[in-house]
A = this chain, B = another copy of it.
Amino acid sequence: MKAKVTITLKTGVLDPQGKAIEGALSSLDFAGVGNVRQGKYIELDIAETDAAKAEAQVTAMCEKLLANTVIENYHIELV
C-alpha cells in the first residue's frame, strides 16, 4: 500500500518559513493571501496489505521519526 503523510505545525507554533512565503507572495502582487503555513509531505510504500495494520505501522513511524509530536501534527492517508 501507499501511505501519504502530511505533517503540519500545531496551531500557535511560529512558522517563519510560512511568513517568508507570505511576504514573497505579497511582493509578487498576490493580494488577499494570509495565514500561510508550511509543512512536510511524505509518500511511502509499505509491504503490509491490511489497512488497519498499515495505519498502525505508519502511525508508529510518525510518532518515532517522521513528526516531532511536541510541535507537529500528522495526518495519514492510505491509498
Q: Which residues of B sit under 8 angstroms from A44, Cβ to Cβ?
A: 21-22, 25, 33-37
Inter-chain contact B32/A43, CB cutoff 8 Å = no
How far is B5's CA from A39's CA once the two chains are assembled, in angstroms?
10
Which residue, A22, A24, A46, has most C-beta atoms of chain B within 10 A? Answer: A46
**Is A28 in the interface zone, CB < 8 Å from B?**
yes
Minimum C-beta distance from A21 to chain B (A): 7
Q: Which one of A30, A34, A41, A48 has the greatest number of beta carbons of chain B within 10 Å?
A: A41
In the complex, A18→B45 CA distance in Å?
12
**What are 8 A-to-B residue pairs whose CB atoms are below 8 Å?**
A21-B65, A30-B57, A35-B44, A36-B45, A37-B42, A38-B42, A39-B40, A40-B40
